[in-house]
Amino acid sequence: MQNKEVYDELVKKFEELYGRKPEIVAYAPGRIEVLGNHTDYNEGYVFSAAIDKGTFFAVSASDDDSCELTAADLMETAKFTTKAVAPAKEMTWQNYVTGTFNWLFDGNPASARHGWKGMFLGNIPLGAGLSSSAALEMCTVLALSKLYGIDKDRTTMAKIGQKAEHTFAGCPCGLLDQASSMYGAEGALVKSDFRTNEFETVSMGPSVAFMMVKSNAKHALVDGAYASRRQACEDAAKYFAGVLRKPVTHLRDVTMAEWVLYRGGLSETTAKRAVHPIGEDERVLQGAALLEKGDLKSFGALMYDSHESSRNWFENSCEELDAIVDAAKAIPEVYGARLSGGGFGGSCCLLVDPSAADKIAAQITKEYKAKFGDEPVCSLIKPSQGAHLV
């Protein structure tokens, strides 16, 4: 079992606190975003992967309508009943779980036959842009579905987690993080189409791996920058729907050539925001063809282009992430690098030759330290299996 030490610690703490073994345990991994940035809510394409770090959620039914939820790393417990499930202002970590519980019951958790005692523990670094919150939602939805005997497909479960983000955690995210956690597979990338919600896995050979480099720049998507980018994309889509003689509902429907011709009618800022997901969609489709041919160098070049687009157009990068990508460009064993996920801090995702991992980590750490005084965290990531019951 992957991350067995985390599982063992969780089960031990569960028994100590609740005086019984959990009935059900589920696991869900974090994710890296490899190509396709801020395309998901524009109904576009993404390459991502589930990572080898994740979160376990352990749960047992209670006899009445009471619920207890414990964050095992903090040993803090939230108590509520099935009749009073609402977004919390304190111990806000609970919102990912309670929001998921709420939407598993279509917003009416009071209809649940009984309450539950739950506890979770994971090893995904927080605030690193590796979707620890989606992992928590996905292990919660799997475990609670099993507990109540509710049968939902994986895409529906992913959407339940997304709804929890929107309404309980306050982040208007797309479906990427939850879908990657649900559909990840060992040694494979997930290629997602967020118009049709088709999720396909693409195997990667052993000669290539990902390295995540976590900057120390804070990454928080609930503070408005993410929401303002999403709004700009939606405004742009409305504009293109008005000027193009074809149906447009999302930026997915707009080509680069159309953007060039019609951008003049948009404000400078909205035009800059819109071109990013449009370019990213094209890069993911080109990338898919390159992966099929095994052309990693050219695929990596698209990752560098993606970062430039974030840096210059979408403005969701920052000094620290730019420095990591710039350092990566000088290392021949790195094929490509870009920010991963929402941006504004967090981590970069590097496509690397795994046999040179130590050299790459040392070089990037040296340059980052010279600039910022502290060290980034470099870790080799193995694309891994998606969420499952344990």
Query: What is the binding site for ligand GLA (CB under 6 A)?
Result: 33, 37-38, 40-41, 173-174, 176-177, 341-342
Look up residue 306 and give its two tokens. Answer: 């993606």
- What span, in angstroms and rounded, lies between the C-alpha atoms of 164 and 271? 31
* Min separation Cβ 134 and ligand GLA, Å: 7
- What span, in angstroms and rounded, lies between the C-alpha atoms of 14 and 233? 44
Look up residue 362 and give its two tokens. Answer: 């040392």
Task: Give the nearer residue to ligand GLA in terms of CB position, either 50 or 119.
Answer: 50
Q: Is 153 exposed, middle or buried (0-12, 13-18, 19+ CB in 10 A)?
A: exposed
C-alpha closest to that of 255 among 272, 275, 230: 275
Task: Give the nearer residue to ligand GLA in terms of CB position, either 341 or 376.
Answer: 341
Name the catalytic one among 40, 52, 177, 281. Answer: 177
* Min separation Cβ 305 and ligand GLA, Å: 15
- Residue 51 near residue 384, CB atoms below 8 Å: yes
- Is residue 177 among the annotated active site residues? yes
C-alpha closest to that of 136 among 223, 29, 31, 222: 29
Task: Give the nearer residue to ligand GLA in terms of CB position, either 33 or 281.
Answer: 33
* Min separation Cβ 116 and ligand GLA, Å: 27
* Min separation Cβ 78 and ligand GLA, Å: 23
* Min separation Cβ 173 and ligand GLA, Å: 3
* Min separation Cβ 83 and ligand GLA, Å: 30
What Cα–Cα distance (Å) separates residue 235 from each residue in 163, 222, 251, 380?
22, 20, 10, 38
Task: Give the nearer residue to ligand GLA in terms of CB position, either 166 or 382.
Answer: 166
Task: Give the nearer residue to ligand GLA in terms of CB position, either 165 or 367.
Answer: 165
* Min separation Cβ 44 and ligand GLA, Å: 9
Task: Give the nearer residue to ligand GLA in terms of CB position, either 175 or 324.
Answer: 175
* Min separation Cβ 105 and ligand GLA, Å: 23
Task: Give the nearer residue to ligand GLA in terms of CB position, either 147 or 251.
Answer: 251
- What span, in angstroms and rounded, lies between the C-alpha atoms of 251 and 268? 17
Task: Give the nearer residue to ligand GLA in terms of CB position, either 68 or 234.
Answer: 234
Q: Which residues are catalytic?
A: 177
